[in-house]
Structure 1
Amino acid sequence: MACHQRSASLPSIPHSTESRVEVELQGLETRISSPSATIGSICDGLRRLGNTYDCIEDIMSLPSNQVGLSLPLQRKMVEEELDRSLVLVDLCDAMQESLAELKTSIQELQLTLKRGNDAAIQLKIESFIRLTKKAQKPFKKITNSKAMDEGCRTIMLLAEAREMAVSLLESTSRLLPKQIVATNGSRWSLVSKRFQKRRVVCEEAQLQTLERGVVDLQNSVEPLFRRLIQSRVSLLNILSS
């Protein structure tokens, strides 16, 4: 879906864009519910959701919708969605902070591993584990807010996209701890007190792969955050018109 190229890709019939957004959101929901979700699939989902927000932005910018959303009957729904979107912005901001902390923690662990201090390595691993748990805390305070079954279709799409964004961010927080579980079911192989040369090379590779994954998540969450801000600006402009 390439709706972010607005001048070239926006269909002449608005209903077509709305239908494509709904299909895309349904596809993302299927992806999230998959038990085989990976950092790569989550990153792809975040990018696709960002493009979906661009499409919704196109729909909101249509003159007919600008007028319709500013009418008294619709304003209340716009105001409610604006309030709920603030929660999502805060979640996205918290995820960006958590990913930055995790990246720093991985880099510190890499340096500690090179020094070969077993006790220090153990402490860094425990610190990393605490950070992954911290990333999940904001989602425990979120109450389910289902999309409206009736009302303005544009606001319904925004509500569905918001729910999808929350689900994707929560999936990200749940996926991070899984990166530190060894195949034998114990905590990461780095916990081992034996640091033979071959094993250390393997562990360094693990850390490098994990760091790349966290960077990929950062690069996917940050553009989504910008789009969420833009969506709020558009809603505020509609209310002020």
Structure 2
Amino acid sequence: MAKSLFHGRSDSLPSRSHPLMSKLDDYICRLRASEATSTSSTSIAHKLNGLPDLHDCIDKLLLLPLIQQALAREKNGKCVDELLDGSLQLLDLCNSAKDTLLQIKEYTLELQSTIRRRQGGENGLATEVRKYLTSGKLAKKAIQKALTNLKGLENKYSFSCTDSSNEIATLVTLLREVQTITLCVLKSFLSFISGQKAESKPSHWSLISKLMLHKRVASDEEETQENEFVMVDDSLKSLVGCKTACKYDNFMLMQNVQGHLKNMEMCIQDLENGSHSLFRRMIKTRDSLLNILNL
């Protein structure tokens, strides 16, 4: 756990009783504990909203003269170089996740507008739905590429800081722990919005039943975590694939599409707020490191 990071620290660095260290300990423990919680949009948004506070605490830590002096002395060391490199890569990853979410938001708003106007009649609507699904596939491919690249970034956090003083090694370990937590949250974030799910081809009536089942309340012991992005895709595919001429069936499918799009819109808003706040805070942390290292 995070508490082990404070053992054996040099007297030249802030002690564990320092207010900043206590806050860091608390934030790290809370975020680490949340890793075992659900992967619902609410849970991921909560984690995203907690990261800026963690990075703000790191920012304040980097303002301490003793910390700045210790890092400046080792600015050409492997540990510090790896720390800065990790910070820059995480910033790029966060920016990519933020931009991808913005693209999905734009596609969603455009589709909602088309559904409301019903431009081009039913055929026109089907064309817009297919365009949305195609755009979504492109976004998912970009996310999968980013997730693949994460493996290389994760490996960088496994190196041992053995070429620096004990105080620098301890400090770098602490900062790297923050980067690791940030990486884990961003990975969950990207995985969630990619909404990967095995496709199936049930009959029309089973599609209706499946959509209705989403409205049930799961028990506390067997709660199913619904992914708003997956549910929108499923409902749109059901709408486009519906071959029946029954107006009631079409109406029910359209109602489900609109309901899932509305839920996803609110989900995107929560995730967008958290990712934007995190990105701004990570920029500040990057600038603080660059300033200390005179880069």
TM-score normalised according to structure 2 size: 0.68
Alignment-derived partner of residue 7 in structure 1: none
Which of 82, 85, 95 aligns to 2:84? It is: 82
Query: Which residue is equivalent to 1:55?
Result: 57
Name the aligned partner's letter for residue 130 of structure 1: L
Query: 2:36, 2:144 → 1: CA distance?
Result: 18
Whether the 8 Å contact between 1:93 and 1:225 is mirrored in structure 2 is: yes
Residue 126 of structure 1: which of 122, 125, 134 is its match?
Answer: 134
1:101-136 CA distance string (max 9 Å, x none): 000111122133332422432332232243234223
Q: Give % identity.
A: 28
Distance 1:198 1:192, change over 3 A: same
Q: Please list every run of 5 or more consecutive structure 1 residues that lacks an aligned counterpart in the other structure.
A: 1-12
Task: Return the match for 1:136 from 121, 144, 147.
Answer: 144
- Which amino acid letter does the alignment assign opposite residue 126 of structure 2? D
**Higher Cα Rg, which structure:** 2
Could you tell me how far 1:138 is from its partner in structure 2? 1.3
- For residues 35 and 255 of structure 2, the distance between their equivalents in structure 1, rounded to whole angstroms, comes to 33
Q: Which among 51, 61, 73 is matched to residue 71 of structure 1? A: 73
Work out the CA distance in 2 between the residues paired with 1:101 and 1:46: 19
**Correspondence 1:146 to 2:142:** no
* Equivalent in the alignment of 1:181: 230
In structure 2, the gaps of 5 or more residues are: 1-13, 196-226, 243-248
C-alpha distance in structure 2 between counterparts of 1:182 and 1:222, whole Å: 25
Question: How many Å separate the matches in 1 of 2:285 and 2:187?
Answer: 21
Q: What is the correspondence of 1:1-241 to structure 2 with a 5 Å cutoff?
A: 14-16=15-17, 17-34=20-37, 36-72=38-74, 76-114=78-116, 115=118, 116=122, 117-142=125-150, 143=152, 144=154, 145-146=156-157, 151=166, 152=168, 153-176=170-193, 177=195, 178-182=227-231, 188-193=234-239, 194=242, 196-240=250-294
- 8 Å Cα contact 2:238/2:253 also seen in 1: no
Compute the displacement of 1:18 (Å): 2.4
Cα root mean square deviation, aligned: 2.6
- Aligned residues of 2:52 and 2:277 also touching (Cα < 8 A): yes
Give 1:86 deviation, angstroms. 1.0
Query: Aligned-pair distance for 1:22?
Result: 3.5
Native 8 Å contact 1:106 1:128 kept in 2 = no
Contact (CA 8 Å) 1:56, 1:154: kept in 2 or not? no
Residue 84 to residue 181, structure 1, CA distance change in 2 (3 Å): closer
CA distance in 2, matches of 1:30, 1:44: 13
Q: Is the 8 A contact 2:105 2:268 kept in 1?
A: yes
In structure 1, what is the Cα distance between the partners aligned to 2:15 and 2:275?
28
Distance 1:235 1:53, change over 3 A: same
1:197-226 superposed Cα distances (whole Å, 9 cap, x missing partner) = 343233212111101211221111111111
Q: Distance in 2 between matches of 1:224 and 1:81?
A: 18
